Amino acid sequence: MISPEQFRFFSELVKQHSGIALGKGKEYLIESRLNELAKVLGLKDLDALYRKAKAAMTPKLKEQIIEAMTTNETYFFRDQHPFDALQKSVIPELMKQNQGKKQLRFWSAACSTGQEPYSIALLIAEHFPALLSWKTEILATDISKKAVEKGRAGRFTQVEVNRGLPITLLIKYFKQQGAFWIIDEKLKKMIRFKQMNLLSPFVGVGTFDVIMCRYVLIYFDQQTKKAILDKLVKQLNPGGYLFLGATETPIGLPPFMKRTSFGRATCWKKEG
Ligand SMILES: C[S@@+](CC[C@H](N)C(=O)[O-])C[C@H]1O[C@@H](n2cnc3c(N)ncnc32)[C@H](O)[C@@H]1O
């Protein structure tokens, strides 16, 4: 059983470095995830991990603890509606708007193992081939190094490709290699994977026409959520769109961020 002191220690560490708020009731989650990590590190249990972390915390151990506490659930074309909105309305509108500079930039902020940015790349390859000759860029970032590395490899298991990916796209854009499916090199090249913490300043990432920040703000407290939303809005180009998870409501977005619906998808457009 995790002690109150161990719970306080680990939840504060995780909150401070990732924003993930593990309040009362999350004892079981910490216990199960960190017991697992302890085993991987060759330690007896969570208690041994706690003693090690208290006595000699290293940046590597901190990263491993935080990584263990992230939830990386994701799948291709998650929720479908945002991708329908991109295909039918958002990308055609942005292509008209950006016709002059022939540049379109997407950011999958909290991309997990890559299914979200690859869904954008697949949609572009399938429906907007003209964008392949534009400066089309997809930045994909996540705090989890492991998740980012997996995304960068573009290598998915059968179970992963069975989740959300239409078979036609699997056949057209993936090659089977043993037990894995490897995504087409052309699509891989559209995406830049980078380990990045949403709590850190967004330096050197540039600005974007579409930002997807889905199913990550739910793990933060209101203050952290608002601070991250403020920073994301600054990275959006005028006329650009912000997508959150279907169940997520933004707090304190400025009035120039106009709530917009396309079919069953809701997003926020930066006016101006
Ligand atoms: C549930 S996944 C969502 C993935 C994808 N956006 C989707 O909707 O399918 C949440 C991701 O947020 C990442 N995450 C958690 N805290 C983060 C932080 N402070 N900075 C960046 N990523 C973070 C986790 O590592 C995890 O991969």
Our answer on whether the CB atom of 195 is closer than 6 Å to any ligand 1 atom is no
Our answer on whether the CB atom of 34 is closer than 6 Å to any ligand 1 atom is no
Rounded to the nearest 10 degrees, the angle between the axes of helix 27-40 and helix 4-18 is 80
pLDDT of residue 1: 86
CA pair distance 129, 230, nearest whole angstrom: 33
- DSSP structure string for 129-177: GGGGGSEEEEEEEES-HHHHHHHHHTEEEHHHHTTT--HHHHHHHEEEE
The one-digit pLDDT tens for each residue of the chain (272 residues) are 899 999 999 999 999 999 999 999 999 999 999 999 999 999 999 999 999 999 999 999 999 999 999 999 999 999 999 999 999 999 999 999 999 999 999 999 999 999 999 999 999 999 999 999 999 999 999 999 999 999 999 999 999 999 999 999 999 999 999 999 999 999 999 999 999 999 999 999 999 999 999 999 999 999 999 999 999 999 999 999 999 999 998 988 999 999 999 999 999 999 97
Our answer on whether the CB atom of 218 is closer than 6 Å to any ligand 1 atom is no
Average pLDDT, the chain: 97
> Atom 7 (ligand 1): residue with closest C-alpha?
74
Pairing relationship of beta strands 265-270 and 257-262 according to DSSP bridges:
antiparallel
CA 193 to chain centre: 11
CA pair distance 54, 243, nearest whole angstrom: 39
pTM (2 d.p.): 0.97
CA pair distance 264, 272, nearest whole angstrom: 25
Our answer on whether the CB atom of 20 is closer than 6 Å to any ligand 1 atom is yes
Q: How many CB atoms are located within 10 Å of the residue 80 CB?
A: 15
pLDDT of residue 251: 84
The structure tokens 């830049």 sit at 192
Our answer on whether the CB atom of 216 is closer than 6 Å to any ligand 1 atom is yes
pLDDT of residue 161: 98
> Atom 19 (ligand 1): residue with closest C-alpha?
18
Top mutation candidate among 142, 145, 224 for ligand 1, by most atoms within 8 Å of CB: 142
Q: Is the dihedral of CA 204, 207, 230, 226 positive or negative?
A: negative
Top mutation candidate among 196, 216, 242, 248 for ligand 1, by most atoms within 8 Å of CB: 216
CB 168 within 8 A of CB 139: no
Our answer on whether the CB atom of 225 is closer than 6 Å to any ligand 1 atom is no
- CA of 212, closest atom in ligand 1: 6
CA of 23 from ligand 1 middle (Å) equals 18
CA pair distance 252, 186, nearest whole angstrom: 39
The domains of the chain, with CATH numbers, are: 4-69 (1.10.155.10), 81-270 (3.40.50.150)
In terms of Cα–Cα distance, which of 250, 262, 192 is closest to 226? 250
